[in-house]
């Protein structure tokens, strides 16, 4: 991963690059995050909206992709529309940035390109970004009602902010970050009381926890733990 220029930091989280060389097709599991991505590869440039569930992409041959991960909540000013309109969708990058897309894929070129297309300041975008950061940093935050209180917003106002700027509801974002912490506990080793863990994460029962985990990571938590 590479950092953007300081002028882009309010909008762009990082740049990333993936390279592969497979003799046989390889099924790559992609766990969802709350970012919108601009990606260049395989002869095309796309804007990838937030994916609400785990995805599988088939990689084959030798190739690479260069991408831009926008800060959660900060793509709305570039798109000029609710980010929820591209959730679980991939659209041509030219629809957002115009036809003059870069062909040289490196950090300085991408910095210059995005600075040329930098939108006006948007206080709501920064509010949405701060809300997602709060969820990521506060491991005790498991309920939407508490997030609304922390931000001084009504439940309806919070839902509108997330739909318009993040592309998905606050409940999904909270669950995504808390479930990520589950994988960290698995990596640390030791026995896990799944029922107690589900309750700690704000789930009414273990069944709901398992369904959410499978949607995010593509398998049940016990199967994930056995493999990793």
Region at 190 (left for phi over 0; alpha for psi -120 to 50; beta for the rest): left
Domain match, 100 and 138 both: no
Domain match, 129 and 107 both: no
Does 1 map to a domain? no
- Phi first, then psi: give them for residue 160, nearest 5 degrees: -65, -45
* End position of a domain, from candidates 71, 91, 116: 116
CA-based nearest residue to 75, from 62, 86, 90, 60: 86
Q: What angle do CA 128, 132, 137 make, to 5 degrees?
A: 145
User: Quick one: what percent of the chain has pLDDT higher than 70?
Assistant: 99
* Distance separating alpha carbons of residues 186 and 191, to the nearest angstrom: 9
- Show the tokens assigned to 204: 């009414």
Does 31 map to a domain? yes
Supply the pLDDT for residue 228.
63
Strand extents, DSSP E, the chain: 12-30, 37-41, 44-48, 55-70, 90-92
CATH number of the domain encompassing residue 176: 1.10.10.60
Instruction: Quickly state the pLDDT bin for 45 (edges 50, 70, 90).
Output: very high
CA-based nearest residue to 131, from 106, 156, 149: 149
Q: Taking all residues of the chain, what is their mean pLDDT, rounded to a whole number? A: 91
Tokens 């309109």 correspond to what residue? 85
Residue 197 burial by Cβ neighbours in a 10 Å radius (0-12, 13-18, 19+): middle
Instruction: Quickly state the pLDDT bin for 90 (edges 50, 70, 90).
Output: very high
Does 202 map to a domain? yes
- Show the tokens assigned to 99: 């036809």
Q: Count the neighbouring beta carbons within 10 Å of the beta carbon of residue 152.
A: 8
Does 105 map to a domain? yes
Report the domain count for the chain.
Answer: 2
Domain match, 137 and 100 both: no
Domain match, 10 and 107 both: yes
Domain match, 136 and 188 both: yes
Does 170 map to a domain? yes
The per-residue pLDDT for range 160-210, each reduced to its tens digit, is: 999 999 999 999 999 899 888 888 777 777 677 888 888 888 888 888 888
* End position of a domain, from candidates 116, 136, 155: 116
Range of the domain at 216: 123-227
Q: How far from the centroid of its chain's Cα atoms is residue 60's Cα?
A: 24
Instruction: Tell me: pLDDT of 46 over 70.
Output: yes
Domain match, 145 and 60 both: no
* Contact yes or no for 74/106 (Cβ under 8 A): no
Domain match, 32 and 78 both: yes
The region of weakest confidence among 12-16, 63-67, 74-78, 178-182 is 178-182
User: Which carries the bigger pLDDT value, residue 192 or residue 49?
Assistant: 49
User: Quick one: what percent of the chain has pLDDT higher than 90?
Assistant: 59
* End position of a domain, from candidates 116, 139, 155: 116
* Contact yes or no for 216/53 (Cβ under 8 A): yes
Domain match, 220 and 130 both: yes
Domain match, 14 and 109 both: yes
Domain match, 136 and 110 both: no
* Distance separating alpha carbons of residues 5 and 23, to the nearest angstrom: 37
Does 106 map to a domain? yes
């Amino acid at each position: 991963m590479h950092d953007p220029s300081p002028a882009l930091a309010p909008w762009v989280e990082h740049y990333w690059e993936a390279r592969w060389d497979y003799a046989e097709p390889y099924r790559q599991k992609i766990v969802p995050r709350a970012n919108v991505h601009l990606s260049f590869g395989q002869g095309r440039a796309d804007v990838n909206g937030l994916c609400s569930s785990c995805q599988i992409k088939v990689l084959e041959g030798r190739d690479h992709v260069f991408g831009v991960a926008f800060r959660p909540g900060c793509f709305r000013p570039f798109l000029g529309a609710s980010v929820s309109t591209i959730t679980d969708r991939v659209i041509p990058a030219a629809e957002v940035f115009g036809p003059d897309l870069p062909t040289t894929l490196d950090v300085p070129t991408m910095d210059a390109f995005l600075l040329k297309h930098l939108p006006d300041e948007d206080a709501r975008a920064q509010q949405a970004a701060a809300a997602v950061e709060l969820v990521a940093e506060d491991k005790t935050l498991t309920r939407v009602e508490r997030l609304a209180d922390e931000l001084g917003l009504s439940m309806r106002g919070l839902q509108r902010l997330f739909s318009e700027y993040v592309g998905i509801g606050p409940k999904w974002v909270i669950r995504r970050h808390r479930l990520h912490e589950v994988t960290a506990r698995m990596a640390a080793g030791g026995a896990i009381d799944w029922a107690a863990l589900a309750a700690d994460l704000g789930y009414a029962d273990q069944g709901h926890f398992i369904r959410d985990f499978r949607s995010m990571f593509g398998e049940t938590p016990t199967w994930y733990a056995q493999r990793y």
